[in-house]
Chain A
Amino acid sequence: MPRRRHWRPACSTPCSACWSRRRPIRTPRTRRGAPPQHIDYAAHTLADLINARARDLVWTSGATESINLALKGVAEFAGGEPHIVSVVSEHSATLESLAWQEKRGTRVTRLDIDAHGRMDLDALDAVLADGAALVSVMHVNNETGVIQDIAAIGAICAAHGVALHVDAAQSLGRLPIDVTAMNIALLSVSAHKIGGPKGIGALVVRRRTGLAAQLHGGGQQRGLRSGTLATHQIAGFGAAAAHVTASRDAEQARLGALRDRLWARIARLDGVMRNGAPAQVAPAFLNVSVIGVHGEALRTGLVEGAPGLAVSSGATCSAASGQSSHVLRAMGRTPREAAASIRFSLGLSTDAIQVEQAGARFVAEVERLRSLASAA
């Protein structure tokens, strides 16, 4: 069996970084007093990574729950017919929550993005003149890796007195995040994107942010999120946060160099377009559209061929739906270009040899499909 290469840390990462800490605490019976110590350790480590207070963290089952809690919780707290401003290129957790809320009395404004995937800050400023309960923006796009200027967005929100929610699932551990300096009221994060376990996330809820709980019960976590805490999961999240704290800058520089090398290899092909302006894309990401090949055939060829590449087209969450990327179409790509897109996301296990092999495989597969098409 060919060795598989993991090109998709944007959808999930191996848990090695958090393993050693997780193992000892799950096996013995947790004594009273012990779990909070581990939770506190995790909370402080994660909070330090984003310059938040540990007590402002609310643990959740993942970023999807965090985002649902932020959007619905703020709207419910605000009452009436609240106005939420977001962006067309958001993750489905945001888009689907907003679509649901829209049917139930929330007014939603979805700002467009430009050809580079960036939102228009003047448009945000203009729309906030109307007033809003919340602005919700993702820091790094999960498909393209395009970075939004959160500091500038935060400043605009602060000038209008509007709370800002940031979906940081893809940026935690990759880019600097400072909830205080960036005027972020709510921040959604997930452990499994930074080498922690699946099934655990957090919502940072900063002081004076009005939020109504969405899960009711035992009143855990100051009543903001009831349910038994998954202690081992939180410990894993904390260990993963500690790991990225120590390694982030060097690792991102390494991944950026590998990504550039991969692109240099691929760019030798004609008719290959890079999605997102290079200077505004997070280091671990490379998203390309290929002209003249069928997207599904290319993806299948890469994934099923030998050696198999674990790559994706569009978001994992919408992979099964077979629709072309809403993000790339919002950036002005044609449906055909958007469909013929491949996302490479690099991670801890990616090295230079893999990059060379992946580049060669990609080029060979595109040439093979094009020769088939011209022969037909």
Chain B
Amino acid sequence: MSICFDHNATTPLHADVFDAMRPWLTERHGNASSLHRAGREARAAVEAARAQVAACVSAHVSQVIFTGGGTEADNMALKGVAAMREPARMLISPIEHPAVTDAAESLARTGWQIDRVAVDGEGRVDAADLERQLAAGDVALVSIMIANNETGVIQDMADISRIVRAAGVWLHTDAVQAPGKLGFDFAAGGAHCASLSSHKIQGPQGVGALIVDKQLDMAPLLHGGGHEQGLRSGSANVAGIVGFGAAANRAMAHGQAEIAHMRDLRDKLETGLDAMPGITRFSANAERLANTCQFAVAGYDGEGLLMLLDREDIAVSSGSACAAGTGQPSPVLLAMGIDPAIAQGAIRVSLGPQNTLEEIQRFLLVLGRLADGGGVAMPGSISASVLG
């Protein structure tokens, strides 16, 4: 039986979510901008989903702008704020998702200065450095993710937003990993805008949202019919949005129980890992998402180990799925000051609510076997044996 331990990359569509989407994929096919009945029904479904997503993150319904996914939401936040003013400075952390890092780098080509706020060895943003960088002036936007997709490290957003707001600067947070794994309260006054993604919470791929505080002045990324309050044009992906709403609703209803379940499994996994030789766990002393554990096994290359586990029908990730295949050690771990040779060996386990104790036990068994047998193997010879 296959085991999926890669829920930070994507999650299976939940059956209840699929049921909610189904009518909107078949007989109910109105365009949500049309004025006739089929259109108005589609519009009502989109608005109901907007309320569900808003409730899930304690936002006001008018603050939810649906997008084509988390990447688009991140791009929209950074470029939308940048478009409203002359180039200035933007602060990001060095452990951001590529959607933030690369969007920021694209702005650097248009005259923006992108500076990184230091993180400590556990991957936590250094508040003193953030204050120093803000004090240097001319910062238009700070973007710091609430929870990291690789290490699972949770930032102290209350402290970060207090510092950023005191400097009179806008704050964006990539909150894609938060719902369903961590309570996220937009209204509590942390960030001015936050990115969400549906397929990380058992919703469909291809839909996300940017939660936007109305006082934030931003330009749209996509121009056209003026959908989504003029901030995101394009015919509404009705089925996708309905699915996102249903998934958000589920996350809200079952989140606490699922988090407790995943935390219990993850802790058992880590107890097992700590008993094995040659295991380095990352961010072990920081507050982390309940479902995430990133570690390296001595003597193994992360991607090689991933392939060996895949042969055993166990799906894990080596760092971010988006950076997979590049062969480079995780920039997140390097930013934390981890030795590149160790970072190269990193794999990530990210659990979902459906995972079981039996799966944890089987994983530990397989890993234990590999760790014993592979302690002296070089990355090259492992790839060769896998590919050969």
Contacts and interface: CB of A to CB of B under 8 A. Distances in A.
Interface string A121-158: 00000000000000000000000000000000000000
Given A61-B68, A199-B207, A13 B29 contact: yes
Given A8-B31, A96-B233, A319-B35, A61 B69 contact: yes
A68 B199 CA distance: 24
Contacts of B37: 4, 303, 308, 310
A38 interface: no
Interface stretch (B47-55, B101-109, B248-256, B297-305): B101-109
A278 interface: no
B54 to A, nearest CB: 20
B99 interface: yes
Given A64-B225, A226-B71, A217 B35 contact: no
Contacts of A319: 33-35, 39
Nearest to A303: B36
A96 B226 contact: yes
Contacts of A303: 35-37
Contacts of B72: 61, 215, 227
B295 to A, nearest CB: 21
B247 interface: no
Contacts of A41: none
B150 interface: no
A37 interface: no
A116 B340 CA distance: 66
Interface residues of B, number: 62
B24 to A, nearest CB: 8
Question: At the interface, is chain B mostly helix, strand, loop or mixed?
Answer: loop
A233 B37 CA distance: 25
B26 A14 contact: yes
B204 to A, nearest CB: 7
Nearest to A212: B106
A217 B12 contact: no
Interface string B81-111: 0000000000000000111001101100000
A269 B354 CA distance: 64
Given A64-B233, A197-B25, A233-B206, A317 B99 contact: no
B13 interface: yes
A330 interface: no
A103 to B, nearest CB: 10
A18 B234 CA distance: 21
Contacts of A99: 223
Nearest to B102: A216
B224 interface: yes
Given A12-B31, A216-B106, A318 B199 contact: no
Given A8-B31, A8-B34, A64-B233, A218 B39 contact: no
A217 to B, nearest CB: 3
Given A215-B71, A217-B97, A97 B4 contact: no
Given A96-B226, A192-B235, A217 B71 contact: yes
A16 interface: yes
B158 interface: no
A246 to B, nearest CB: 21
Contact of B240 (A16, A198, A321): A198
Interface in B46-83: 67-72, 74-75
A227 B237 contact: no
Nearest to B99: A217
Contact of A312 (B35, B103, B237, B320): B35
A49 to B, nearest CB: 21
Interface residues of A, number: 67
A230 interface: yes
B71 A228 contact: yes
A217 B13 CA distance: 23
Interface string A285-327: 0000000000000010001000011111001111111000000
Count chain B CB atoms within 10 A of each CB in A27, A29, A199, A308 and give the residue with the most: A199
A247 interface: no
B323 A218 contact: yes
Interface string B106-118: 1000000000000
Nearest to B40: A303
Contact of B234 (A13, A64, A231): A64
B242 to A, nearest CB: 11
A311 B30 CA distance: 12
B363 to A, nearest CB: 17
B74 A62 contact: no
B20 interface: no
Contacts of A357: none
A228 B10 contact: yes
Interface in A68-116: 68, 91-93, 96-97, 99-100
B339 interface: no
B310 interface: yes
A65 interface: yes
Contacts of B70: 227-228
B322 interface: yes
A219 interface: yes
A320 B204 contact: no
Contacts of A227: 68-72, 99
B38 interface: yes
A19 B23 CA distance: 11
A63 B207 CA distance: 15
Contact of A198 (B69, B102, B237): B237
Contacts of A309: 36
Contacts of B226: 92, 96, 317, 321
Given A26-B13, A217-B102, A199 B224 contact: no
Contact of B12 (A29, A60, A67, A321): A29
Given A29-B4, A227-B99, A316-B235, 12 more contacts: A4-B38, A8-B31, A8-B38, A12-B30, A64-B233, A99-B223, A197-B25, A216-B105, A218-B322, A219-B102, A303-B35, A316-B39
7 contacts: A29-B2, A62-B237, A65-B222, A198-B235, A198-B239, A216-B98, A310-B34
Interface of B: 2, 4, 10, 12-13, 18, 25-27, 29-31, 33-39, 67-72, 74-75, 97-99, 102-103, 105-106, 197, 199, 204-207, 219, 221-227, 233-240, 310, 315, 320-323
Interface of A: 4, 6, 8, 11-16, 19, 22, 26-27, 29, 31-32, 60-65, 67-68, 91-93, 96-97, 99-100, 190, 192, 197-200, 213-220, 226-233, 299, 303, 308-312, 315-321
Q: What 4 pairs between A and B have smallest CB-CB spacing?
A: A199-B237, A317-B225, A230-B206, A218-B322
